[in-house]
Amino acid sequence: MEIWPGKPYPLGANYDGSGTNFALYSSVATAVELCLLDDDLNETRIPLTEVDASVWHAYLPGLRPGQRYGFRVYGPFDPAQGHRCDPSKLLLDPYARAVCGQIDDDPSLFSYSFDNPEERNQADSKDHTMHAVVVNPYFDWGHDRPPGHEYHESVIYEAHVKGLTQTNPDIPEELRGTYAAIAHPATIEYLKELGITAIELMPCHQFVKDQHLIAQGLTNYWGYNTIGFFAPQNTYGSGKTPGSEVAEFKAMVKALHDADIEVIMDVVYNHTAEGNHLGPTISFRGIDNAAYYRLVDQDRAHYFDTTGTGNSLLMRSPAVLQLIMDSLRYWVEEMHVDGFRFDLASTLARQFHEVDKLSAFFDLIHQDPIVSQVKLIAEPWDIGDGGYQVGGFPPLWTEWNGKYRDTVRDFWRGEFSTLPEFASRFTGSADLYETSGRLPVASINFVTAHDGFTMHDLVSYNHKHNDANGEGNADGESHNRSWNCGTEGPTEDQAILALRQQQHRNFLATLMLSQGVPMLAHGDEYGRTQSGNNNVYCQDNELSWMAWDRSESELSLLDFTKRLIHLRRSHPVFRRRRFFKGAASRGGESDWREIEWFNPSGEHMREDEWQQAYARALMIFLNGHAITEVDAYGRAVEDDSFLLLFNAASEPVDFTLPDRSVSDSWRVVLNTTDDSDDSAHVEGSTVTLPAHSTVVLVEVANTESE
């Protein structure tokens, strides 16, 4: 076999049509071997003798895609000083573009003896670990282009590759649960009819399935346990050839783009699957432990953990920052994704101890001409000190607005003193974002997400029911701000079922009509249930999958959701690019009368009314004549005006319509208690809202009223 010196950049295995260049960073290694594996896992070791700036490299002419490989790294094994090099462990390339197989629970994966953790274990892990695969980077993208939806025009749909498609009868069985299933016309047609503009896929980076879960008949279903930041998760590929999932992922993105749907990836750059000091040696730990992981300053045998997973990546390390930036650029440039949602993003901002929006991570993101131009969504918290950072991220970033979720849940379950904050959240959370020069679209609004109750369960359970997870119901959030509407779980009581349906629609209506960017969790559009389990991270079964055999009430809810999304997308008054001018976020009147707030009597809300603890009803006027949108011919067109009536009280409330319509007339376009309601009303008339309900009225044009 010919071995040429090769180049130190780019890192990883890169096939150029004639051969493959291999490059691995390790500042602590004394020697590195490239290990090539055949189908029977027979190993050929090639010493890498070329080293530049701590990058070990070689070029192998003629080596083609499909080749399995790994590395063995020689160097200090001194955990007390933070070094864990162990050549007995075959290590996964941190830059692997594809990964073959999974780890098992064999003791050889660990560098210590189970019987005596102080005793070194040098058993070979080759047959029990994951292997990197050389991939063909060439793909026919045709005329693919990013849809480029503006944030204010976006409706995001959070989904799991397998959960969304596993039981869809319109998809061939052999494709279900894969990237090909997402790309299937049945899935794309469903997403298009729903009206979403972007699908946010839960982790698709290669992750590790925890052996302690597998031993209990469970698995790591969600995938927040990354080991390969360049490789698509191999179990989501439908092909049998190692590495074929790369082309399949690209084909999925291309198909979604053809349908004008963006692809946002949920990415986990805050930690890896190697866990704490007792975890397996799979990749980073054995390559350069102290360069990749944040260690306890006075005890470098242990990991500084702000993620709850055992380790955190070292965000002041050039190697880590390069890894993350190279990964992000790869997924944008080579895989054509349109944005990222960063899991536990506060950890990424911890260059030292505190969360710092001036950290090197943000500097690198903001100056990068590729990454800075895609959608950047932060989950703005972690479990470390000062980790809750909603509103604290810099410009360019949007955030999962946890305060929106909590406020909307509290308002509709009838908590006291929620009106002022409800007004702030409904109008885009200016109190969180405006002072830092950000816009309403900085707020990714959500009521539910993968983590927690589904929307159906939010109105059906007061308590979590996670016994199936095998942790004695101790896992998952205990304070869910939910309300079961009168009884816990399933019931035959028609009044309770009707109330739950109303509450579900109230949540959907609030979500889609609020300023900001709405995010819908998959299945909430029809009422998917997890039977009260609010932490299905380990449930790869019907409990967490979408059901496609819908009841009449579920189909009705699905139709309601479609109409809501269409209403939002048709009217810019619900998706403003800028904040209201004035004190609208506190319930005051906008300087330009873009928004006005009324009590049920049709009078402007007074300050004392905002502070009434028992107040649970209000009326919002959105002035369509104060906002214009450019049509297809470049002409400025005014929007319609709307009245939004909210009653979160436990009894009916009479609303007197204020004098705000140019034509003096209004027509109901949305009623969470009555789908058939399209009644007309005039200013000064009374509209009675049942308990726990929402009504939306649109101004009737003069010609229509006549």
Alpha carbon distance 499, 434 (integer Å): 37
Which residue, chain included where needed, has tokens 């349109």? 338
Indicate the number of domains in the chain: 3
**The domain spanning residue 23 has which CATH number?**
2.60.40.10
| Domain coverage including residue 114 | 12-134
In a domain, 346, yes or no: no
Concatenated DSSP letters for 269-310? -S--TT-STTS--SSHHHHHHHHHB-EETTEEEEE--SSSSS
- Looking at the fold, whether 540 and 644 belong to one and the same domain comes out as no
Alpha carbon distance 376, 362 (integer Å): 11
Confidence of residue 533 (pLDDT cuts 50, 70, 90): very high
Token duo for residue 607: 């300050």
Token duo for residue 452: 């927690």
Question: Quick count: other Cβ atoms within 10 Å of Cβ 372?
Answer: 12
Alpha carbon distance 540, 327 (integer Å): 28
Determine the pLDDT at residue 358. Answer: 65
- Looking at the fold, whether 18 and 70 belong to one and the same domain comes out as yes
Which residues is 263 bridged to in the sheet? 199
**The domain spanning residue 663 has which CATH number?**
2.60.40.1180
Catalytic residue among 200, 245, 248, 379: 379
CA of residue 13 relative to chain centroid, distance: 29
Q: 155-159, 458-462, 528-532, 661-665: which has the minimum mean pLDDT?
A: 661-665
- Looking at the fold, whether 558 and 512 belong to one and the same domain comes out as yes
In a domain, 273, yes or no: no
- Looking at the fold, whether 642 and 546 belong to one and the same domain comes out as no
Determine the pLDDT at residue 706. Answer: 44
The string of pLDDT tens digits covering residues 43-90 is 999 999 999 999 999 999 999 999 999 999 999 999 999 999 999 999
Determine the pLDDT at residue 705. Answer: 47
- Looking at the fold, whether 430 and 536 belong to one and the same domain comes out as yes
Distances, alpha carbon 235 to alpha carbons 247, 256, 328, in Å:
14, 20, 22
Catalytic residue among 210, 305, 343, 540: 343
Alpha carbon distance 59, 326 (integer Å): 20
- Give all strands (DSSP E) within 488-627, no chain letters: 517-521, 595-598, 617-622
Contacts of 6 (CB under 8 A, 6+ apart): 21, 22, 23, 50, 57, 58, 59
In a domain, 150, yes or no: no
- Looking at the fold, whether 522 and 617 belong to one and the same domain comes out as no
Residue 174 is a catalytic residue: no
- Give all strands (DSSP E) within 173-282, no chain letters: 198-201, 205-207, 226-232, 262-267
Of 106, 134, 162, the domain-final residue: 134
The string of pLDDT tens digits covering residues 58-68 is 999 999 999 99
Which residue, chain included where needed, has tokens 């319109």? 170
Residue 118 is a catalytic residue: no
Alpha carbon distance 256, 253 (integer Å): 5
Token duo for residue 170: 């319109």
Identify whether the C-beta of residue 654 lies closer than 8 Å to the C-beta of residue 683: no
In a domain, 629, yes or no: yes
What average pLDDT does the structure give for the chain? 95
Q: 140-144, 351-355, 626-630: which has the minimum mean pLDDT?
A: 626-630
